[in-house]
Homo-oligomer: A and B are copies of this chain.
Amino acid sequence: MARARVVIVGGGFGGFTAARRLSRAAVDITLVDRTNHHLFQPLLYQVATATLSPTDIMVPIRWGLRRQKNANVILGEATAVDVARRVVVLDGGRAELPYDYAIIATGARHSYFGHPEWEALAPGLKSIEDALDVRNRFLLAFEEAERTDDDAERRAYQTFVVIGGGPTGVELAGMLPEVAKPMRRDYRRIDTRQTRVLLLEGGPRILPAFPQALSDHAKRDLEKLGVEVRTNARVTHVEPDGVHVGGEHIRARTVFWAAGNAASKLAKTLGAPLDEVGRVKVTPDLSLPGHPEVFVVGDLATVPRDGGTFVPGVAQGAIQEGRVAADNVIARLAGRPTQLFTYFNKGDLASIGRHRAIANFGFLQVTGYAAWLMWLFIHVLYLVGFRNRVSVLLQWAYAYFTFQRGMRLITNYARQWDGTVAVGGKYLSADAELAVAKQREAVGSR
């Protein structure tokens, strides 16, 4: 009998874990990803703030699976899953991968709440490319501030707005002043200590997934770092020179997005019921309703938990789901019943700047330096692959003690002043210019 073909789409925490979990199964695995790397997404904000190098937080997927002889890796973008024919379509039809079992784990992208034109103005943090875009804009803003002779313009370049008060927004906002301050010796005309960072959260408090007391603590910690935290602050417009929040216009040349997620478009091709942000409503064993041979895990799935809540879109959720999906493939092959997914929360962490964090383990809540040490320990522990662990520790140690940020690389400046690439909120592509112009018109005509 031919071995069962298992196609895994996505090499993030969910897909990569599933592939590893199947290492001893008598199946032929094909893992497809549109990047060649398994990425440690929780540390992307450190790449974005010029603290870590992109290669510190990734391993090539095929390197990670090199000893697992039942696994093939394909670099390709899955553009559809045809559940009727049981094939994954690659690169818009360039190739097809037939499967007996499929595990779909393509995650989420940003959602701009019906304003796709904001994407060019306010990048988020999901991929290496995103992080390098944020890093370029962050560093370029200081260069422009140093160059300009216009005081208002200089202040706009020294103002950074982070939209969204979840863990990503908090971690990014907390790092910006910490990285800016020690750069002051490098500049002659600007004082990088005057960097203004605003964190705008639409809801009543930041980090709503944490208990109120920890949210409050995080807010105070951010304010100690100089971050202006505004809650109930709904952004109505994002423009090249700032944002509108309520009736106020905040001038800022650099805006980052950490507000909303939408499931990968691949979800729509599965023909299954989706929730309001496009995530697949899976059955309790993580399979697709009506298709017990297809499992959906990670940020692409919405998985109910006890008490009417859902499994949060974090690494540990995706890892646990990937493991169960793999086990359920094995169960089906053996003719055993599948197991139902239950989420075990090991604890939630968010770092705040360079040496503070909050940690919630349910029975125990930790803040400040102690929480940061826990955060550091856990993140280093989970980083995939020995090389990265050592290298990241060295980089961190170096950055921590010397503040000499060796990662401050700006790329493609020439393309920027040519006006062909949108960076720093100023040099926009023709498309983005158009979108912005239309938006301005709409604002003006109210």
Interface residues of A (CB under 8 A from B): 34-37, 53-55, 58-60, 62-63, 66-67, 69, 72-77, 91-92, 94-95, 128-129, 132, 139-140, 143, 146-147, 185-189, 385, 387-388, 391, 394, 398, 402, 404-414, 417
Q: Are B185 and A67 in contact (CB under 8 A)?
A: yes
Q: Are A417 and B92 in contact (CB under 8 A)?
A: yes
Q: Are A186 and B66 in contact (CB under 8 A)?
A: yes
Q: Are B59 and A406 in contact (CB under 8 A)?
A: yes
Within 8 Å by CB of A35, from B37, B402, B407, B410, lies: B410
Q: Are A77 and B406 in contact (CB under 8 A)?
A: no
What residues of chain B lie closer than 8 Å to A406, measured between beta carbons? 55, 59, 385, 387-388, 391
Within 8 Å by CB of A147, from B34, B35, B95, B140, lies: B95
Q: Are A411 and B129 in contact (CB under 8 A)?
A: yes
- Nearest CB of chain B from residue A88's CB, rounded to whole Å: 14
Q: Are B394 and A36 in contact (CB under 8 A)?
A: no
A/B interface sample: 14 pairs, CB < 8 A? A36-B139, A37-B408, A55-B406, A58-B409, A60-B405, A60-B409, A63-B404, A67-B185, A74-B147, A77-B413, A92-B417, A128-B411, A385-B406, A387-B398
Within 8 Å by CB of A187, from B53, B62, B404, lies: B62
Known: A53-B53, A406-B388. A77 touches B140 (CB 8 A): no
Q: Which residue of B lies closest to A144 (CB)?
A: B75
Known: A53-B53, A414-B34. A75 touches B408 (CB 8 A): no
- Nearest CB of chain B from residue A236's CB, rounded to whole Å: 31
Q: Which residue of B lies closest to A387 (CB)?
A: B406
What residues of chain B lie closer than 8 Å to A398, measured between beta carbons? 387
Q: Are B36 and A75 in contact (CB under 8 A)?
A: no
Known: A77-B414, A95-B147, A413-B35. A186 touches B60 (CB 8 A): yes
Q: Are A410 and B186 in contact (CB under 8 A)?
A: no
What residues of chain B lie closer than 8 Å to A411, measured between beta carbons? 35, 128-129, 132
The 3 closest A-B pairs by CB, nearest first: A75-B143, A62-B186, A36-B410
What residues of chain B lie closer than 8 Å to A410, measured between beta carbons? 35-37, 75
Q: How far is B429's CA from A343's CA once the two chains are assembled, in angstroms?
A: 46
Q: Are B387 and A36 in contact (CB under 8 A)?
A: no
What residues of chain B lie closer than 8 Å to A95, measured between beta carbons? 147
Q: Which residue of B lies closest to A408 (CB)?
A: B60
Q: How far is B409's CA from A74's CA once the two chains are assembled, in angstroms?
A: 15
What residues of chain B lie closer than 8 Å to A140, measured between beta carbons? 75
Q: Are B75 and A147 in contact (CB under 8 A)?
A: yes
Q: Which residue of B lies closest to A146 (CB)?
A: B74
Q: Which of A66, A69, A128, A187 has the most CB of B within 10 A?
A: A66
Within 8 Å by CB of A417, from B94, B408, B414, lies: B94
- Told that A74-B147, A128-B411 touch, could you supply 12 new A-B pairs with CB distance under 8 A? A35-B413, A53-B54, A54-B409, A60-B405, A66-B186, A75-B410, A91-B417, A129-B411, A129-B412, A387-B404, A391-B394, A394-B394
Q: How far is B63's CA from A187's CA once the two chains are assembled, in angstroms?
A: 9
Known: A143-B36, A409-B36. A185 touches B60 (CB 8 A): no
- Nearest CB of chain B from residue A9's CB, rounded to whole Å: 14
- Nearest CB of chain B from residue A213's CB, rounded to whole Å: 39
Q: Which residue of B lies closest to A76 (CB)?
A: B147
What residues of chain B lie closer than 8 Å to A147, measured between beta carbons? 74-76, 95
- Nearest CB of chain B from residue A240's CB, rounded to whole Å: 16
Q: How far is B409's CA from A35's CA once the two chains are assembled, in angstroms?
A: 9
What residues of chain B lie closer than 8 Å to A186, measured between beta carbons? 60, 62-63, 66, 73
Q: Which of A55, A59, A67 has the most CB of B within 10 A?
A: A55
What residues of chain B lie closer than 8 Å to A35, measured between beta carbons? 410-411, 413
Q: Are A66 and B409 in contact (CB under 8 A)?
A: no
Q: How far is B139's CA from A230's CA once the two chains are assembled, in angstroms?
A: 45
- Nearest CB of chain B from residue A66's CB, rounded to whole Å: 4
- Nearest CB of chain B from residue A390's CB, rounded to whole Å: 8
What residues of chain B lie closer than 8 Å to A77, measured between beta carbons? 413-414, 417
Q: How far is B62's CA from A58's CA once the two chains are assembled, in angstroms?
A: 29
Q: How far is B186's CA from A187's CA once the two chains are assembled, in angstroms?
A: 45
